[in-house]
Structure 1
């Protein structure tokens, strides 16, 4: 028994004795034996070190302290029942307000369809986009409830996470550049400017780490913080970039405005993961994860297979 001196079961026994007018009736109501009810009352009195009922009367009567305890414990038990009912219902009905943050590329490419399923799952919601590192901070500080990000926040095992998509990074060149001999990244670094993602972005840091692993360090001249700006500069012939198919779709450049090629140095990938507070949202994170995978399968993959079929085989949906 904790320092409180009672648990809700003992309170329920005591309140039932008072309200039913005796131990026999209370035992019938609770589905217990009369001896269990009597022992429960005795344990409660022993833990509290007060006499709650005068057993010299039939049925037993409340003592003055017992009456005070009854009034307060009845309120406490009623509140506990309300809390239990409220959170059992949350598993069956939409939550009141769910705050979601996701990467720009997903919001732009399949955002409308994703919002439709969010509306079906929740009665009230809000959605923000932006850079992944800010979403991770917002989740950990409980400013949002769910994120879809390329930062899976791996060092927090208490969080729910499910991978939604694994997509390859690709080389993007201005239109017509591919008519020259095959390009290596080192060759490109000496002939065209590399248009970087900002180091403040998760995708930018991942690309830089991979370039360093390959021993490639293009001059630091152009650094932008979003895919649309980067790919618009590639389209204008300013330089080359490394990005992903979803980012190309976001910028509307899967229809031939730029050259999209495999990276000769090797394959590396971006993973988008749904991450949420694990114990507070019931089945909602798993439902939204499955919904998002289905949207990507039915909305995104057909576009990719039509415009860049060689890329479609490198896409993995779900875990």
Structure 2
């Protein structure tokens, strides 16, 4: 009968999200990575979307893929619709927050003493009836708690294996730095590192694994005599052996007692940068993660940056606050 048969294709929110992901990533594989799906799923959504609007939306012959005139029209409306939906979800989440009985934080131990009091105070000011529980540990432990839903908000130098279900709000980035016993490094720096005792972080820790990869990349192979887990122990051993280690500014500030007997220097080779983010689950907690991320940035800018600049004037500006783009 006329008018019956296969139903007409329709615009869907999922289809619009895939459209925006492909537009921003420039490739089907990149879009699939952004949304946590498969390349074939992206292609199917785009095909259905093109059937719904009756026109091709992307020129797939170009690399990266580019929008057709119809795609450019849809782009404007898709961004507007998704922004409106996100705002509506945030408003609804704010209503739920008012009666939230408990909120669980998980914070990287490098920042525990400085960030935890600020975040807890900010939460209490916004939600006076909410009980706040704060866990402090390694970045991998913070991520594990987020994945197990034992934490609602995490501050970590690692990311979840699949970020598609999470909001990642950047806080800061910091370089890895060289720390040595005062006066230990003379002459050529790299030659001195080959000669002096090396105090390493345990490779059971994310930071230990990352530093080991860095040393392998630059083909520096110091003798490995011991491995320690706590930064305070690592730096105390550097003082004791008149040796050296690699760490980050945040870790360094956790052991101020031994700093007068140490030198903080830039790495004598191409280094690495560590980024710390505030992470929450997608479409939960409304605008709260954004507000807390801003609180964190303000604290880093006003307290941690000048504190490290005073410790290592030659590396002033090494800790950089990152605003969400």
Alignment TM-score, normalising by the size of structure 2: 0.65
How far 1:294 sits from its partner (Å)? Answer: 0.5
Equivalent in the alignment of 2:96: 90
Q: Give the SS at the match of 2:169.
A: strand
Indicate how the Cα distance of structure 1 residues 197 and 222 shifts in structure 2: closer, same or farther if over 3 A, else same: same
Counterpart residue number, 1:181: 187
1:232–1:121 distance in 2 versus 1, CA, 3 Å = farther
Secondary structure of the corresponding residue to residue 167 of structure 2? strand
Q: Which runs of 5+ in 1 are unaligned?
A: 1-84
Deviations 1:109-155 (A, max 9, x none): 44433433233244211111112112211111111111111102252
- Distance (whole Å) between structure 2 residues aligned to residue 88 and residue 313 of structure 1: 36
Q: Is 1:101 aligned to 2:101, yes or no?
A: no
Partner residue, 1:312: 316
Say whether 1:119 aligns with 2:124: yes
| 3-state SS of paired residue (1:157) | helix
1:207 aligned partner = 211
- Indicate whether 1:240 and 2:244 are aligned: yes
CA spacing shift, 1:119–1:224, aligned 2, 3 Å: farther
SS at match of 1:90: helix
Query: Hey, what's the Cα distance between the residues in 2 that align with 1:254 and 1:110?
Result: 22
Map of 1:161 onto structure 2 = 168
Higher gyration radius (CA) = 1
Give the 3 Å change call, closer, same or farther, for CA 97–264 of structure 1 in structure 2. same
| Alignment TM-score, normalising by the size of structure 1 | 0.66
Give the distance between the partners of 2:93 and 2:275, measured in 1 at CA: 33
- Deviation (angstroms), 1:254: 8.3
Are the aligned partners of 1:100 and 1:146 in contact in 2 as well (CA < 8 Å)? yes
C-alpha displacement at 1:89, in angstroms? 1.9
Distance 1:278 1:271, change over 3 A: same
**C-alpha RMSD of the superposition:** 2.3
Give the C-alpha shift of residue 257 in structure 1: 2.6
> Paired residue for 2:307, among 303, 307, 314?
303
* Equivalence for 2:254: 250
Does residue 140 of the first structure (1) align with residue 144 of the second (2)?
no
Q: 1:282 to 1:313 in 2, by over 3 A?
A: same
CA contact (8 A) 2:182 2:242 kept: no
Partner residue in 2 for 1:64: none
- Quick one: distance in 1 between partners of 2:183 and 2:92? 62
Cα drift, residue 87 of structure 1: 5.2
Change in Cα spacing, 1:259 to 1:253, as seen in structure 2 (3 Å) is farther
Conserved? CA contact 1:152–1:274, under 8 Å = no
SS in 1 for 2:263: strand
Q: Deviations over 1:35-57 (max 9, x none)?
A: xxxxxxxxxxxxxxxxxxxxxxx
Structure 1 runs of 4+ off > 6 angstroms? none
**Distance between the aligned counterparts of 1:173 and 1:88, measured in 2?**
49
Residues of 1 paired with 2:162 and 2:131: CA distance?
30
1:156 and 1:242 map into 2 onto residues whose CA distance is: 29
Deviation track 1:273-306 (CA, whole Å, cap 9, x = no partner) reads 1111122211111111111010000111121232
Name the count of aligned residue pairs: 231
Q: What stretches of structure 2 of length at least 5 have no aligned partner? A: 1-90
Which stretch has the larger CA shift, 141-150 or 94-103?
94-103
